[in-house]
Chains A and B, each alone.
Chain A
């Protein structure tokens, strides 16, 4: 049996607050096999964003282990972390804030390439252009700045940037939540394609159960910093066991399959014939 690509054990993240300490993550444990997609679902305040930040080491956890490919990266120094940075990348939620506004697309995607040592400008630009093409943007996009792109296009640039490092694990932190529904569908398609082509592993953070069903194999449901339910996505969504999961599931309104909706009997006052 192969070791999972990512294994999180008893992860705790605490923040000091005025009244003491706030436990954003309360001994969270799970694992993600290489090539699979794990969805982390929950509402605001459940700790899923904190979990994403901990895994990409945007913060240092208070205790616990984050084992990536067998190595615990949870408390490594920035220096030791450097070789792992390229292997774990992130796609962010906010298409409007996640790209440097003063750089053009080619430079944004080229930055990780520069960090990998591709010093020659032309080689870098060529590779960046390839990636930008891969995510479905035209060549006219190369020299444009983020302000000239729509939300969905910016997310594509963000994905190209994340791919440029050549990661094994991609953390998608509500990557489609700020997008219109039709655009969301296209970006999800892109993410699925890329995963297949490159054999990536995804950790997909979301509050949207429909999206999660489309993209993930396994799921963990979080609440109050803890995992309350886990399992195969199809299973958990079709037969939720925990009351919270059931409440989440019941509140999710899929317009085409809404079941058990209270019929509306509107007694209108004074409506003439």
Chain B
């Protein structure tokens, strides 16, 4: 005779303590990604918001020189960041300069995103000649010293804003294309793509309707992280004198202008540098936190242990 094992009348008490929940991997990971997203967003916003609102904030003009008020330290006479060697308010210069730097950064990242996504997806999906050409182009570019290359292009074509934006976009498309290509290669092999084939969809339609929407999230994360890199590249270029020329005062130029006074008026170099650092760290943290969160929901340990066994 077999034994039928009845369910207990009262459900068994749980053995999970609050401490268990607090120290659990799932909790930690959720908390970590939440903290990253919060801290990252706040840090980035602390920089981006004032920069975006620079025109409506009660700031002195960034271009008005006042030789009587040269190189004042921060927090004197209503100058939060002090003044530079020509008496111009540093905070105003940083905020207005930031508008140019950010605009260039965002534009560059959008352009490189579009180029990288398109070339990477085509290379990954079609394979063959398209893949060979794109991959070799990628590799060639990645193997060149980046800054040297950019300086060369600027030297050849002049340091205007469109050229700088284009140059940074060219610098960044390989990374996006490489990621897009790998993701596309993976998606291409999945049965839902085969199913779309069998339904009669053409290659372009499959790429646009099925593959790209499924990789967009991961690609956009990388694009976000590259925004920080774009701003840094722009700063590097302008620091080296290859950035947008006067009157545009971008962050890199402000730093290079203040270079000569780094021992006497530390704020001319340090404060703009801190602003850049805060933005970059903020954006990176935000991107990391978002990546952690989306990574987890895709491959939860739970689904790996196959505990989602819902019956029909």
- Chain A: residues with CB nearer than 8 A to chain B? 56-58, 78, 81-82, 85-86, 88-90, 92-94, 97-102, 111-112, 115, 136, 149-150, 152-153, 156, 158, 161, 165, 180, 182-183, 186
Contacts and interface: CB of A to CB of B under 8 A. Distances in A.
B191 A101 contact: no
A92 B194 contact: yes
Given A93-B191, A97-B190, A153-B312, A102 B214 contact: yes
Given A150-B308, A165-B200, 11 more contacts: A90-B195, A98-B191, A98-B192, A100-B210, A100-B214, A101-B192, A115-B199, A150-B309, A150-B312, A152-B312, A161-B199
Interface of B: 190-192, 194-202, 210, 213-214, 308-312
A244 B60 CA distance: 90
Nearest to A79: B202
Given A94-B191, A100-B214, A101-B214, A58 B312 contact: no
Nearest to A81: B200
Contacts, number: 71
Nearest to B201: A115
16 contacts: A58-B197, A90-B195, A92-B191, A97-B190, A97-B192, A99-B192, A100-B214, A101-B192, A102-B213, A111-B196, A111-B199, A136-B312, A152-B312, A153-B312, A183-B311, A183-B312
Contacts of B198: 56-58, 85, 88-90
Nearest to B203: A78
A237 B191 CA distance: 31
A35 to B, nearest CB: 22
Contacts of A93: 191
Contacts of B202: 78
Contact of B310 (A85, A102, A150, A182): A150
Given A97-B190, A97-B192, A98-B192, A186 B200 contact: no
A92 B195 contact: yes
A125 B299 CA distance: 31
Contacts of A111: 196, 199, 201
Nearest to A173: B191
Contacts of B311: 150, 152, 182-183
Contacts of B310: 149-150, 153
Nearest to A155: B312
Given A97-B190, A102-B214, A165 B309 contact: no
A158 B195 contact: yes
Contacts of A115: 199-201
A92 B197 CA distance: 13
Contacts of B308: 150
List the 5 closest A-B pairs by CB distance, nearest first: A85-B200, A98-B191, A150-B310, A97-B191, A152-B312
Nearest to A153: B312
A149 B309 CA distance: 10
Contacts of B195: 90, 92, 98-99, 158, 161
B195 to A, nearest CB: 6
B204 to A, nearest CB: 12
Given A97-B190, A98-B191, A99-B192, A82 B197 contact: no
